[in-house]
Amino acid sequence: MMILTWAPLCLLLARAAPPAAAARKEEGLNVLGGEDVAANQYDYVVGVYNTPKNSRTYSVCSGSIINAHWVLTAGHCVENSSPSTHVVEVEAGAKSLANAQTVRAEKWFTHERYRNLQDPTTRVYYDIALIKLHDSLLQVRNTAIATLPSSGRDDPGRSSTVEIVGFGTEGQGSLATKRKGILKKAEMKVQGTCRNTLPSSYCIKVVDATGRSCPGDSGGPMVYRGRVVGVSSTGNPCTTRRGDAQYTRVSSFLDWINQKIRQE
Asked if 124 and 176 sit in the same domain, the reply is no
Question: Residue 165 falls within a domain, yes or no?
Answer: yes
pLDDT bracket for residue 36 (50, 70, 90): confident
Total structural domains within the chain: 2
User: Any idea what the CATH number is for the domain that residue 85 is in?
Assistant: 2.40.10.10
Asked if 177 and 189 sit in the same domain, the reply is yes
Question: Has residue 85 got a pLDDT over 60?
Answer: yes
Question: Residue 258 falls within a domain, yes or no?
Answer: yes
Asked if 88 and 168 sit in the same domain, the reply is no
Asked if 243 and 258 sit in the same domain, the reply is no
Question: Residue 9 falls within a domain, yes or no?
Answer: no
What pLDDT does residue 34 have?
73
Question: Has residue 88 got a pLDDT over 80?
Answer: yes
In this structure, the number of other CB atoms found within 10 A of the CB of residue 177 comes to 20
Task: State how far the Cα of 30 lies from the Cα of 216, in Å rounded to an integer.
Answer: 5
| Spatial contact of 188 and 162, defined as CB atoms under 8 Å apart | yes
144-176 confidence digits (pLDDT tens)? 999 999 999 999 988 899 998 987 544 333 344
Question: Has residue 248 got a pLDDT over 60?
Answer: yes
Domain extent at residue 122: 43-145+254-263
Burial 93-116 (b: 16+ CB within 10 A, else e): bbbebeebbebebeebbbbeebbe
Asked if 97 and 157 sit in the same domain, the reply is no
DSSP codes, the chain = --S------EEE------TTSPEEEEES-EEES-EEPPTTS-TTEEEEEEEETT-SEEEEEEEEEEETTEEEE-GGGSTT--TTTEEEEEEES-SBGGGPEEEEEEEEEE-TT---TT-TT-------EEEEESS-GGGSTT--PPPPPSSGGGS--TT-EEEEEEEE-SSTT----TTT-EEEEEEEEEEEEPTTS-TTEEEEEESSTTSEEETT-TT-EEEETTEEEEEEEEE--TTSSS-EEEEEEGGGGHHHHHHHHHH-
Asked if 56 and 181 sit in the same domain, the reply is no
Question: Has residue 216 got a pLDDT over 70?
Answer: no
Question: Residue 2 falls within a domain, yes or no?
Answer: no
* Range of weakest confidence among 68-72, 77-81, 176-180: 176-180
Asked if 158 and 135 sit in the same domain, the reply is no
Q: What value does the CA radius of gyration of the chain take, rounded to a whole number of Å? A: 17
Asked if 61 and 192 sit in the same domain, the reply is no
Asked if 129 and 169 sit in the same domain, the reply is no
Asked if 170 and 195 sit in the same domain, the reply is yes
